[in-house]
Structure 1
């Protein structure tokens, strides 16, 4: 946090969202996404290896999952916010400028799962084991990726006077720098709820919860991934209600609010279904084991 001349507390936002290295522009948004992917790959590798996989298998699958996920995330964003690229006066080619920000998590997860499935089939990896291994890492990647929104001065909530309010600048997307006033100071649009920070902290907490539950109860069989969907969407539903940046709405609610609510219900139902099926399978295995024990006992010679 920071304090201005009147000792008012706030969270500052960067006035620079990109670095220019010769002809190459490096955005902090892209660096946050890349860092999140690396951390997720590291954690997924550890978890898949513990499930009997090999380190090379994780990379083999991720090579398929990540490109599919990035394409899916961008498609979801462009479709759900089409007016940013295809309305009158907008440049449709900007839809390809993924480095400027704009990845829809559900498009990323959906197509990323398709890529992971292809990778698993090609390299003989259990798809259920892989997505369960990746689930906490996905939350970790999302937690880190949200800081890219901080660099871009985006993803904020309603105006607030809370001590943890977020300072937002007017940013020039063509330069990646804050717009300056006549005195040369960055133009401040206001102070808002830091919803990017709330979501980042929620994702970190969710990743920890998944790790503890999976380690203690060994739920597996796709259940960890189902729990990931439920945990993330539970928080995302409320964060969407808090956001004040522009978004398309349906029946008075943001589209992502509806999507989060529907996916939360779907995640809970999928988790209950998978756990019920796993318990049934365990019961059948125990019954068969009991039958074998009784058969072995009946075959033993009896004295007398």
Structure 2
């Protein structure tokens, strides 16, 4: 008998009339908002304009969603294209299934496009947004909780996750399992804190804060993958995502070391976002100019004659009387 466990939601969607409100989508949206908010604060602190992170995110987020879905569909193609499966389900992103590897890879392409349009160096942008991405992942993992998916092995731990659902093939799943969504969410929060601390302590720049985020995340993802029991491809006894974590960790480590030797320190504040800072300064100057009277307006108002009086005659003030 289970003495305690984490309950799962009975459903992951509410209906506002004919409009479905899906918890999975809300978790992703909350994550994006958190990432842009924290990234903007860090970008401004580094000398950038406050709207630049959001402007680039307009490119990065859609690319990231497409990349995340593509990675999932390609690596788990049997869920959609095996006999008896419905290929159109590959488009049902609200049912879950986003691979972080594809999301980061294609999201980086979108960020690169946005950064070029703004005249911003991509490594500096990646450093600013890195801890926000980790927090976005922490928020997004709760979407798996609402969908009752990506849980781990059966467990008797008091923080086990209670699952009761019927799969698409009619299989009934009822038990208490390792809450791998919770482990990954907490790990991502720790990654964000690590990057914030290390960036402040060592003044990481030129993409090294982002590389640190990648390394820290892949370490946690490797041991969390060990607990998961969802269907996955295996290579030499390891799940595909374990191999991906190893390769990505090695690449991020090499980047961190090499760039640290070639370009130590952080980018100069006036070099990361000159266009954005200039635009904000011009907008502020324009707003101030529209509120303050111009020199000619001031002179006209002081020289304007009183109605009915010649301009060269003094105006005699009429005594003020109180109404009784």
Asked if TM exceeds 0.5, the reply is yes
TM-score (norm 2): 0.79
In structure 1, what is the equivalent of residue 77 of structure 2? 82
Matched, 1:267 2:267: no
After superposition, the Cα gap between the structure-2 partners of 1:16 and 1:42, relative to the gap in structure 1 and judged at 3 Å, is same
Give a deviation string over 1:240-260, Cα, whole Å, max 9, x none: 111111112222221111101
Q: How does 1:1-304 map to 2 (within 5 A)?
A: 8-171=3-166, 189-279=174-264
After superposition, the Cα gap between the structure-2 partners of 1:14 and 1:124, relative to the gap in structure 1 and judged at 3 Å, is same
What CA distance in whole angstroms lies between the structure 1 residues aligned with 2:221 and 2:241?
A: 8
What CA distance in whole angstroms lies between the structure 2 residues aligned with 1:84 and 1:116?
A: 30
Q: Secondary structure at the match of 1:11?
A: coil
| Contact 1:18–1:28 (8 Å) recurs in 2 | yes
What CA distance in whole angstroms lies between the structure 2 residues aligned with 1:61 and 1:202?
A: 27
| Contact 2:205–2:265 (8 Å) recurs in 1 | no
Deviation of the 1:7 alpha carbon: 6.9
Give a deviation string over 1:83-127, Cα, whole Å, max 9, x none: 111111111111111111100000000000000000000011121
In structure 1, what is the equivalent of residue 296 of structure 2? none
Q: Supply the RMSD in Å over aligned alpha carbons.
A: 1.9
Unaligned runs of 5+ in 2: 268-324
In structure 2, what is the equivalent of residue 295 of structure 1? none
Deviation of the 1:79 alpha carbon: 0.2
Q: Which has the larger radius of gyration?
A: 2
TM-score (norm 1): 0.84
| Contact 1:28–1:148 (8 Å) recurs in 2 | yes
| Contact 1:53–1:125 (8 Å) recurs in 2 | no
| Contact 1:140–1:207 (8 Å) recurs in 2 | yes
Paired residues, number: 266
| Contact 1:17–1:29 (8 Å) recurs in 2 | yes
Deviation of the 1:217 alpha carbon: 1.2
Question: Which shows bigger deviation, 135-144 or 14-23?
Answer: 14-23
